[in-house]
Amino acid sequence: MEPAGYSPRALASYATIGEVVQGPFATEEALRSALAEAEVIVIRLGKVPASLMEMAPKLRVIASPTTGIDHIDIPTAERRGIAIVCLKGKRDLLDKIYATSELTVTLILSLLRRIPAAHAHVTEGGWDRQRFIGTEVSGKTVGLIGCGRLGARVATILDAMGAKVIACDPYQPAEKIPACVTRLPLEEVLSVSDIVSVHVALSPETTRMIAEPQFALMKQGAFFINTSRGQVVDETALLHALESGHLTGAALDVMEGEDGDGRHLATNPLREYAKTHDRLILVPHIGGATHESMGLTEDAIAADVLTYLSSHVK
């Protein structure tokens, strides 16, 4: 079980079927001890590699209140017959969750109005507003790469703020696309947008779909946002686009190879760039991290785990 802050209702549900042991664990020995008898692992976004599953010989279920499950070693789970319970396909529930779409708009505004830099300036004793003259969303063209549940909600918010919203999504039926959105091919969305925001699920097709050629297509001075998955973006190409000045700014909620304790940052050049360039905003995968959204999803996942176990009695 993942750490403090987990939904009390979900914890109470799990307690009806067995002992609940919560992390984090100070040592590998403590982790091994906790997993030795575990039949269910409940995780948020921490990685579940094969090595972790090997510590749990009785493991039957991995539960993750997320739509993406790239943090879990799926082939190993399938080989061992371990069920994965997640939010994928639970549209009725997901339609009630606003966190990631709200964060996307927050990141756009933070970039355009230079909010993190302005805050740091004031905490250092400054009060020079001329340094932080920003840009408005109103009147800008925002291009969405993906216009499913999250993209559509972002589109609706930005339309209300006066933006022109266009999108590339060849898979969404027309009736699912908000009326405020004009659908265009990817190349055109990239080339005419002042702001580009990515909202696609991770798949072989979308892995590194935004790379050097796509950044080159973007308008000089455009802004780039990614709240989907880190692997969707070629981070080296993004860094080059920022260093060259082709992009004015970028904001990322996700990064390639990310893990729960931030080890992926140790040698990541984007982190180094962000230390001295306030036009790159990096946040630690907080898209779904609100009390409201996490409570809803953790409760739902707990109910699904109980349903699965009751229907698969050993």
Nearest to 60 by CA among 99, 97, 94, 17: 17
298 flagged as catalytic: no
Cα–Cα dist 138/286, whole Å? 26
From the candidates 2, 114, 285, 298, give the one annotated as an active-site residue: 285
Catalytic residue status for 229 = yes
- The yes-or-no answer on residue 183 being catalytic is no
Annotated active-site residue in 2, 235, 256, 258: 258
Q: Which helix (H) or strand (E) holds 183?
A: strand 181-183
Q: DSSP code of 125?
A: T
Question: What span, in angstroms and rounded, lies between the C-alpha atoms of 111 and 134?
Answer: 9
In angstroms, the CA 103 to CA 100 distance is 5
Q: Which of 60, 229, 235, 298 is catalytic?
A: 229
Helix-strand-coil split of the chain, %, nearest 5: 40, 15, 45
* Buried/exposed 183-205: b ≥16 CB within 10 Å, e otherwise: bbebeebbbbbbbbbbbbbbeee
> Which amino acids are annotated catalytic?
229, 258, 285
